[in-house]
Chains A and B, each alone.
Chain A
Amino acid sequence: MSSRDDVTIGELEEALQAGSDSAFESAFDGLMRQARAGAGPAPALRLQLREQVWTRLGIEPLPTLPRHAASAPARLLPLAALPRRSPWLSFGTGVGLVALGVAIGFVWGRVPTRSSASLDAATLHIVDAPARHAVGPSVVSAAPPPTLAPVPAPIAEADESVAPTLPAVAAARARPIPRSAHSPAPSESAAAAGVSGNPLRDALETLRRAHEALRAEEPAMALVDLDALEKRVPSSVLEEERAVTRALALCAHGEPKRARQVAARVLADNPSSVYAMSLGDSCAGHEELLNQMRGRVSKPAP
């Protein structure tokens, strides 16, 4: 039996009954990988905890959400509402994008649930601290740490009964998106993209728009947004999320080879990526990539 990720308890028992030490060892290794995959934090929890740790340490206070954000008409769309016949949006990938979208929505304070009213009351607000603090081990915070409103209840899954609205996509369609080799002037790109200039918020907003474009089956628009983001915001900001979104957009755009290249880079840089399953379920999930996900290719020490 070769090492695989999807080892079940039953297969472990079969190996035991077969009396094959090597088969049991192989199944055991697979069991360990699965247990490891099952032990990590959810993306939303990861983001939440990062914010909380950063806030407690006073390292990088997050920007104050603009007042209108709480009542912004655009909201994250439940992927499950999209037609299932979409060739690139398998259920697995869709729910994976929901997880990413929920994580993004969590940071913004808007999460699709069955009770939007109750969620509004519990929206997470992060208040800006008076001054920025340096990042690093010797941070000393002179200002009082930012305060957090009560954290919302555990994030519910997307409500399949909610009809999708596409105000943001419609706005994006109306917006001219030139494919220019030149970087747009910051004020122009900010105005065109409707973002604040803050790198993290810019990246989050762009990813949200890209996901909306993917849900609207407009991967070209998503790729344009991602390309523009590359020029505006350092690649280190939400690097993994940007790459995953790009891989999925390339799949939808009919570019599986490029999608696999991007996905392979994601997993090479992030062997324990929480998006590994989503990538595996997409057009980028071929055997070589799956082997890379398993992360058991033994390489000689440098």
Chain B
Amino acid sequence: MTRAHADEAVHEMHQLAGPGRRNSSAPGTHPELGPLHAEKLEPRAADLPAPSATFEDLYNEYFDFTFRSLRYLGVNPSALPDAVQDVWLAVHRQLSEFQGRSTHRTWLFAIALNTARNQRRRERRMHVIPLSDELPDWRSNPERAHADREALGMVHEYLATLDEPRRVLFVSQLLEDLSAAESAELLGIDVASVYHRARDLRRSFKRWFAARQERGR
């Protein structure tokens, strides 16, 4: 995957996200949403690109983030090891070209998103039947591990109902807690729209959950 592919991924997200005013809202109080949380507006200082960040630094910091992102974005669990390696090989190739216009997380997420798409395309061509979503569990507390698996399964079920832009927003804002600015960058919309759509997604999840529970009765 080249830098162009990663850029293309971000650009495609912008297209799919639909019209939205870019960066036209000043931080402060939104007329509809109320006070905007300052700590969520801009990337955290720790997430800002460090000029001297090496590949190893990024790997140590963000490997789990890319692994989880691929998982949320629909990569078959059996394909996750290969997919995450593909991500980091791409990172290694492109790191020298990274200019710090976005945070590392935004950039890495875009690479993971493109990798996930490629993987899904390969699976469709090969008619791969997705295996169980479960990976072998390793956690120390079996009860917590079960609760975590249950939670992850439910989230996966809901994510499957979303189109890609909404899935990206859900993953970035509600699962991985990226800043609003980072999500805005990924989707090519403004920060206020990020908050607005994230709130809509919460409501959507609630409706979906209620319907799901109703079907289960």
Which residues of A are in contact with B by a Cβ distance under 8 Å? 5-9, 12-13, 16, 24-25, 28, 31-32, 34-46, 48-50, 52-53, 56-57, 59, 91-96, 99, 135-139, 154, 272, 274, 277-278, 281, 298-302
Contacts and interface: CB of A to CB of B under 8 A. Distances in A.
16 contacts: A6-B147, A13-B213, A34-B148, A36-B68, A36-B176, A39-B67, A40-B67, A40-B68, A41-B67, A50-B59, A53-B88, A59-B56, A94-B140, A137-B95, A277-B140, A281-B140
Contact of A99 (B63, B95, B138, B206): B138
Contact of B141 (A34, A35, A49, A277): A277
Interface in B140-193: 140-141, 144-145, 147-152, 154-155, 174-176
B215 interface: no
Contact of A154 (B84, B85, B136, B202): B136
B89 interface: yes
B151 A38 contact: yes
Given A6-B147, A31-B154, A36-B68, 20 more contacts: A13-B209, A32-B175, A36-B176, A37-B144, A38-B148, A39-B68, A41-B67, A41-B84, A43-B138, A46-B64, A57-B89, A57-B92, A93-B140, A95-B140, A99-B139, A137-B55, A138-B96, A154-B136, A277-B144, A299-B39
B44 interface: yes
B210 interface: yes
Nearest to B38: A301
Nearest to B56: A135
A43 B137 CA distance: 11
B140 A31 contact: no
Interface of B: 37-39, 42, 44-45, 54-56, 59, 63-65, 67-68, 71-72, 80-81, 84-85, 88-89, 92, 95-96, 135-141, 144-145, 147-152, 154-155, 174-176, 202, 205-206, 209-210, 213
Given A42-B135, A301-B44, A37 B148 contact: yes
Contacts of A34: 147-148, 150-152
Contacts of A300: 38-39
A230 B213 CA distance: 54
A96 B140 contact: yes
A141 to B, nearest CB: 11
A267 B38 CA distance: 24
A249 to B, nearest CB: 17
A292 to B, nearest CB: 15
A49 to B, nearest CB: 6
A46 B84 CA distance: 10
Contacts of B38: 300-301
Contacts of B176: 36
B154 A9 contact: yes
Contacts of B147: 6-8, 34
Q: Which of B54, B92, B140 has the most CB of A within 10 A?
A: B140
B150 A8 contact: yes
B42 A301 contact: yes
Contacts of A49: 63, 81, 84-85
Given A34-B148, A92-B141, A40 B92 contact: no
Given A7-B151, A34-B147, A92-B141, A301 B39 contact: yes
Top-6 shortest CB links A-B: A38-B148, A96-B140, A34-B151, A137-B95, A42-B138, A38-B152
B93 to A, nearest CB: 9
A46 B209 contact: no
Contacts of B154: 9, 31, 35
A39 B71 contact: yes
A8 B151 CA distance: 7
Contacts of A281: 140-141
Q: Which of A5, A136, A302 has the most CB of B within 10 A?
A: A136
B85 A35 contact: no
